[in-house]
Structure 1
C-alpha cells in the first residue's frame, strides 16, 4: 500500500523554506544542477540529460516517487524526493552546488521526514555515500541515525541511516 505525501510544505522560522512538488517547468533547472560535478558526483556520477530529468524528476513517477523542489526566498535551491515501494520508504536529496552548506538541506529533510512520519511512513531511510561526509552530517542534523549497515549505490559504498522523529518530552 502506498502512503500519502504532502502537496507542499512551508518550514522555518528564521529562513522560510518551501517544498513544492516539481513539474515539467522545473526540468531545465534540475538538469543544470545535475550538470555540475559537485552535485552529480554523488547523484549518479555523470550529468543527467534533460529527457531523463523529465522522466524521473518532474512528477511522472508519482505516487511511488514524489519529487519536491526546495525553495528559499522564492528561488529553487535543491531537490528532495520521497520514494516508497511495498517494503521500504526513503528520501534522496541534493542541494544546488552554490547553495550547499547553508543548512537548507537538513531543514527541508527534517520537515519532510516529520510530515511523512505523521502519515505513517515508518522506518524512513536514506543512504548517503560513505565518502560524502557533508551529506552524512546533513542527514544526521535532519534526525537520521546510522544503522550500522552499508550498501552500494551508483558505485558508491553507502551508509544506511534511519529517521528518528523528535519526541516531545512535554511537562
Structure 2
C-alpha cells in the first residue's frame, strides 16, 4: 500500500483481517487526514491525501432539479441515460420528485466539490426492484448510479472521489449490507475504470431491459464492503 501526500510517499501493509481503508488511515494517522483512493485495482493499493478537493454528498431537493435536468442533457451524461427519455425539467421532476419527497425507497444525492454542486448519484436496495434483482448476483446488495454533470471537471479525479464519498456514506446508512453494486454499460469504459479504482470488481455481463424498451449489455461490478471499507 502507498499513500501520496504532496509529493511524499508513505508505504504500509494491510494486516490480516484489516480493510484497505483502515490500513490506509493507520498508515497516515500522523497526518490526521482521511486518505482517498487513487487506484485500488492493482496488487498495491494506492491512496492519496488531497488537500485541495473536498467532496460531499447532500440530500437532493426539488430546488436541485433544474441542475439535474441540465446535467442529464449534457453530452457525457445523456449518452448513457438516453433510455430514460429527454431530460426536460418536467420529465426529470416526474422521475425524481417522488424519491426526493420520500415516497420511494431510492435515495437521491447531490455531489458537491468544494461546495459547488457538480453531479448526482442515487442508491437503493436492489431487492426493492424485483425486475432488476433477478438479474444480479446478490439481490441483497445496495445499488448505485452516478454522474458528473459538469463537462469541464471530467478527467480530474472527481469521479473517483465522488464514488469514494458515496461508499463511506453508504457504510453508515446501510450497516447490514455486505456488497455494493453498479452496472455500467460494457462500452462505458470510463465508468468501469472509476469503479475499479475505488475497489469494485467487474463480474458478470448481462442484458438489462431499459425504460424505452431497449436492452443494454452491462457489466455487474461488486464491492466487498468488509474488504474495502471495513
**For the superposition of Structure 1 and Structure 2, which TM-score range results when normalised by the shorter chain?**
0.7 to 0.9
Name stretches of at least 5 consecutive residues in structure 1 with no aligned partner: 1-9
- Work out the CA distance in 2 between the residues paired with 1:116 and 1:99: 24
Deviation at 1:167, TM superposition (A): 5.6
Question: Are residue 107 (structure 1) and residue 183 (structure 2) matched?
Answer: no
Secondary structure, aligned partner of 1:124: strand
Counterpart among 115, 127, 131 of residue 74 in structure 1: 115
When Rg is computed on C-alpha atoms for both structures, the one with the higher figure is 2
Name stretches of at least 5 consecutive residues in structure 2 with no aligned partner: 1-33, 37-49, 129-138
| Alignment match, 1:4 | none
Q: How many residues end up aligned between the 2 structures? A: 159
Question: Are residue 129 (structure 1) and residue 185 (structure 2) matched?
Answer: yes
| Alignment match, 1:51 | 90
- Cα gap change, 1:11 to 1:82, in 2 (>3 Å): farther
RMSD: 2.4
Secondary structure, aligned partner of 1:159: strand
Deviation at 1:148, TM superposition (A): 2.7
Deviation at 1:78, TM superposition (A): 0.8
Deviation at 1:70, TM superposition (A): 0.6
- Cα gap change, 1:26 to 1:167, in 2 (>3 Å): closer
- Cα gap change, 1:98 to 1:62, in 2 (>3 Å): farther
- Work out the CA distance in 2 between the residues paired with 1:148 and 1:66: 25
**Conservation of the 8 A alpha-carbon contact between 1:82 and 1:92:** yes
- Cα gap change, 1:51 to 1:11, in 2 (>3 Å): farther
| Alignment match, 1:94 | 147
Q: Structure 1-normalised TM-score? A: 0.80
- Work out the CA distance in 1 between the residues paired with 2:184 and 2:66: 25
Deviation at 1:164, TM superposition (A): 2.4
Question: Are residue 164 (structure 1) and residue 224 (structure 2) matched?
Answer: yes
- Cα gap change, 1:167 to 1:54, in 2 (>3 Å): closer
- Cα gap change, 1:153 to 1:79, in 2 (>3 Å): farther
- Work out the CA distance in 1 between the residues paired with 2:124 and 2:96: 12
